Amino acid sequence: MALPIFASDALSSVAYAPQELLMILLVGGLAFLSFSPWVAAAVVVLLVVVVLSYRQLIKAYPSGGGDYEVARTNLGEVPGVVVAAALLVDYVLTVAVSVASGVDNIISAIPALNPFRVEIAVGFVILIVIVNLRGVREASTVFAVPTYLFIGSVAVMIAVGLGRTVLGDAPVASSAQYAVRAEDLGQIAVILLILRAFSSGCSALTGVEAVSNGVPAFRKPKIRNAQTTLTLMGGIAILLFSGLTVLALVAGVHYAENPCHLIGFDCANQPQPSLMAQVAAATFGMGSIPFFIIQAATAAVLLLAANTAFNGFPLLGAVLARDGYAPKALNTRGDRLVYSNGMIILGIVAIGVLIVYQANLTTLIQLYIIGVFVSFSLGQIGMVRHWRRVLRNMRDLPEEARRQSAARYERRSAISGLWINSAGASLTVLVLLIVTITKFTHGAYLVFLAIPILATLMIGVNRYYRDVEHEIRMDDTVHFGSEGDVAIVLVNRLQKPVVKAIDYAMAARHDKTLAVHVAIDEADADRLQKQWEEHNVPVPLVIIESPYRAYTSPIVSFIKKYREKHGSAVVTVYLPQYIVGHWWETILHNRRSRRLAQQLMLVHGVSITLVPWLLDSSELIYGRRSRPLPGQQRGGQPAPLPGHVPHARRATRPSGPPDNS
């Protein structure tokens, strides 16, 4: 059952990898399709090597840290951060590519939706974000049905298609009739084109690393089970990838980068069906039930792949936040115990990417593979370092210990690990070079900008937190015993919230308690003075003149002068604070009070006391009780005893300690 959870990401790439591979070759003309078996074979070899390499990684680092942990442990901080940046970029592109391809396959089945391509894609991302914010339980069945349906239906299609071919009734794709306007290419261009096709085909490898990040989620024996799952997944991916490629060749699918290059195809009014749709239509008939099943399963598994990124990205964000490389907010769980900040960021960025690239799969694929191979390469290089260190440590053991059979077994396995990961590292670095050369001008340079920028930001964040930590550490300068304090209650008009603030200030028995009013308007000040006497308010009222209608600066100079004259070390400013029942009410109460608090906190010796006043005016407007907020006496008057616990929904949410910021 572990397969479907991790497999959707890796297997879904089969839905676009053969298409992109053949598409690039077709730029050179129909004759170039004869290269495709060789290019596909190269992709398969690479896939085998990568799967074997990741089996080693799982064994050595079963904690689920994946490439980030390997690179950080074995290569140091900068490579670790670079891998993290590459993975973050990758998660974004996993969402964008998977959703774009999913929408492509939906449109292939229902061409009438073509004008809404971007809208549908954005809609799916929003849907996935909402589902994940609500805290989806990773119920295996939800994942299992589409994944197994995808594997099963595509396998059946390949079997049927190849069976028909053997029986002499080979399926024929509708695009087989179209001729292709090919470019004239020189020798170097031919080589580059083949390498570009190989690079695009490598998109079949994306998602293989997912298992290595999920080892802790496996049943025991975790390592063995994870390795088995990985191998199984790799095998299935190879079968589907090669089967689809061969069947597409047999059926004569002509999928063009620009559909207008297909002579005879009405490119202006009709979307080009995906390779999957063309093969399915050729095998089972356009519009047949199996055709729709295959398209639905393909779209579903692609959307699930996008969904897995919404598990991976926030988790990596939280790990980075824990290690001090990302804002701590990414390590905060939301209402439903999910890392909601990370999910929202991923959703927004993915939507942005989809809109900018108009949900165009081919363009997005160009960006995708770079990040994958950056983390593959650094992870593998890290593994090579890891095995070399293991072997070095063994060499340092006493002769006796080395002779034991367990030690000999371990040594053999370390040597084989070194060989496998060296092969993996060489190959992935080579592919990274190929991908870079062939994709750089096709948009991949943006990824080459994004990764170092992200990595630099992460290191900057880390240094920032380190410096803050250093600054607030206890040292010998710490002392207690400030003497003399004064409470200042700011008063605009004599209203109940102010009365409550005065009452609280008096209860705290400050050395001195004053009410202060800034006289912006003289008539208002006179009226306040009169009311003050009428109501016998038991603290003195000080009225400060403000000839220029300023508010903050007269208070600041009053505080300053008061401290100079009376030598108070501590000034506590009391501010009544409205607590509203609905979010939209905050729009209606302006933030001057908050801004004032921010400004006063910059003044030497000042602290701010917020005295809450619960507004329940929503009742008055709607004639119904607003949602209950027990724990706050309604109207907020100071009443003796006893208090209540605030509403459980908010208060019982487990949340870590604040960092006082």
Residues in 422-481 at the binding interface with its own copies, rule: CB under 8 A: 460-461, 463-465, 467-468, 470-475, 477-478, 480-481
Q: Which is nearer to its own copies, 150 or 465 (CB)?
A: 465
Q: Across the strands, what pairs with 659?
A: none
Q: How far is the CB of 9 from its own copies (least distance, A)?
A: 30
Q: How far is the CB of 647 from its own copies (least distance, A)?
A: 7
523 binds its own copies (CB under 8 A): no
Site for its own copies (CB under 8 A): which residue of 141, 187, 405, 661? 661
Site for its own copies (CB under 8 A): which residue of 149, 520, 542, 544? 520
- Could you give the CA distance from residue 587 to residue 591 in angstroms, rounded to a whole number? 9
Q: Which two tokens stand for residue 620?
A: 């008055």
What 3-state class would DSSP assign to 491? coil
527 binds its own copies (CB under 8 A): no
Q: Give me the helices (H) in 252-331, please.
A: 275-284, 289-322
Short-list 245, 230, 137, CA closest to 200: 245
Q: Which is nearer to its own copies, 68 or 465 (CB)?
A: 465
59 binds its own copies (CB under 8 A): no
Name the pairing type of β-strands 262-263 and 179-180. Answer: antiparallel
What 3-state class would DSSP assign to 504? helix
77 binds its own copies (CB under 8 A): no
Q: Do the Cβ atoms of 315 and 112 come closer than 8 Å?
A: no
Q: Do the Cβ atoms of 18 and 348 come closer than 8 Å?
A: no
Site for its own copies (CB under 8 A): which residue of 496, 527, 530, 625? 496
Q: How far is the CB of 51 from its own copies (least distance, A)?
A: 38
- Could you give the CA distance from residue 79 to residue 68 in angstroms, rounded to a whole number? 8
196 binds its own copies (CB under 8 A): no
Q: Which is nearer to its own copies, 195 or 494 (CB)?
A: 494
Q: Tokens 């501590």 — which residue? A: 570
Q: Which is nearer to its own copies, 442 or 560 (CB)?
A: 560
401 binds its own copies (CB under 8 A): no
358 binds its own copies (CB under 8 A): no
Name the pairing type of β-strands 485-490 and 570-579. Answer: parallel
Q: How far is the CB of 490 from its own copies (least distance, A)?
A: 8
What 3-state class would DSSP assign to 544? strand
Short-list 467, 465, 508, CA closest to 487: 508
Judged by CB under 8 A, which stretch of 144-152, 183-191, 413-421, 639-647 contacts its own copies?
639-647
Q: Tokens 């008539």 — which residue? A: 523
Using CA of residue 282, residue 284, residue 285, residue 290, what is the dihedral sign?
negative
181 binds its own copies (CB under 8 A): no
Short-list 49, 2, 40, 3, CA closest to 22: 40
Q: Which is nearer to its own copies, 264 or 658 (CB)?
A: 658
Q: Which is nearer to its own copies, 198 or 574 (CB)?
A: 574
- Peptide bond preceding 271: is omega within 30 degrees of 0, i.e. cis? no
Q: Which is nearer to its own copies, 480 or 533 (CB)?
A: 480
Judged by CB under 8 A, which stretch of 38-46, 148-156, 281-289, 630-638 contacts its own copies?
630-638
Q: Which is nearer to its own copies, 31 or 268 (CB)?
A: 268
Binding mask 592-611 for its own copies (x = CB under 8 A): xx-xxxxx-xxxxxxxxxxx
Count of residues interacting with its own copies (CB under 8 A): 132
Site for its own copies (CB under 8 A): which residue of 280, 432, 487, 515? 487
Q: How far is the CB of 507 from its own copies (least distance, A)?
A: 4
Judged by CB under 8 A, which stretch of 139-147, 218-226, 273-281, 543-551 contacts its own copies?
543-551
625 binds its own copies (CB under 8 A): no
Residues near 627 by beta carbon (within 8 Å), at least 6 away in sequence: 581
Q: How far is the CB of 115 from its own copies (least distance, A)?
A: 15
- Could you give the CA distance from residue 191 to residue 197 in angstroms, rounded to a whole number? 10
Cα-Cα-Cα-Cα torsion 446, 451, 456, 459, nearest 10 degrees, comes to 160
Q: Do the Cβ atoms of 101 and 354 come closer than 8 Å?
A: no
591 binds its own copies (CB under 8 A): yes
Q: How far is the CB of 312 from its own copies (least distance, A)?
A: 22
Q: Do the Cβ atoms of 612 and 636 come closer than 8 Å?
A: yes
- Per-residue DSSP letter, 214: -
Q: How far is the CB of 215 from its own copies (least distance, A)?
A: 24
- Could you give the CA distance from residue 109 to residue 124 in angstroms, rounded to a whole number? 17
Q: How far is the CB of 462 from its own copies (least distance, A)?
A: 10
Q: Across the strands, what pairs with 571?
A: 486, 606
Q: Which is nearer to its own copies, 448 or 504 (CB)?
A: 504
Q: Which is nearer to its own copies, 289 or 587 (CB)?
A: 587
Q: Across the strands, what pairs with 489?
A: 515, 574
Region 552-581 residues binding its own copies, contact defined as CB under 8 A: 552-553, 556-557, 559-560, 563-564, 567, 569-570, 572, 574-579
Region 324-353 residues binding its own copies, contact defined as CB under 8 A: 327-329, 332
Q: How far is the CB of 194 from its own copies (least distance, A)?
A: 35
Q: Which amino acid, one-letter code, is at 564?
A: E
Site for its own copies (CB under 8 A): which residue of 3, 43, 95, 494? 494
Q: How far is the CB of 337 from its own copies (least distance, A)?
A: 11
152 binds its own copies (CB under 8 A): no
- Could you give the CA distance from residue 613 to residue 537 in angstroms, rounded to a whole number? 19
Q: Which is nearer to its own copies, 188 or 478 (CB)?
A: 478
Short-list 535, 546, 544, 613, CA closest to 574: 613
- Could you give the CA distance from residue 329 to residue 461 in angstroms, rounded to a whole number? 13
638 binds its own copies (CB under 8 A): yes
What 3-state class would DSSP assign to 518? strand
Q: How far is the CB of 629 from its own copies (least distance, A)?
A: 6
Q: Which is nearer to its own copies, 287 or 656 (CB)?
A: 656
SS (H, E, C) 595-657: HHHHHHCCCCCEEEEEEEEECCHHHHHHCCCCCCCCCCCCCCCCCCCCCCCCCHHHHCCCCCC
Site for its own copies (CB under 8 A): which residue of 398, 523, 621, 627? 621
Site for its own copies (CB under 8 A): which residue of 110, 127, 130, 651? 651
Q: Do the Cβ atoms of 174 and 265 come closer than 8 Å?
A: no
Q: How far is the CB of 250 from its own copies (least distance, A)?
A: 41
Judged by CB under 8 A, which stretch of 253-261, 278-286, 382-390, 483-491 contacts its own copies?
483-491
- Could you give the CA distance from residue 634 to residue 61 in angstroms, rounded to a whole number? 56
Q: Which is nearer to its own copies, 316 or 573 (CB)?
A: 573
654 binds its own copies (CB under 8 A): yes
Percent helix, strand, coil in the chain, to 5, is: 65, 5, 25
Site for its own copies (CB under 8 A): which residue of 506, 516, 523, 541? 506
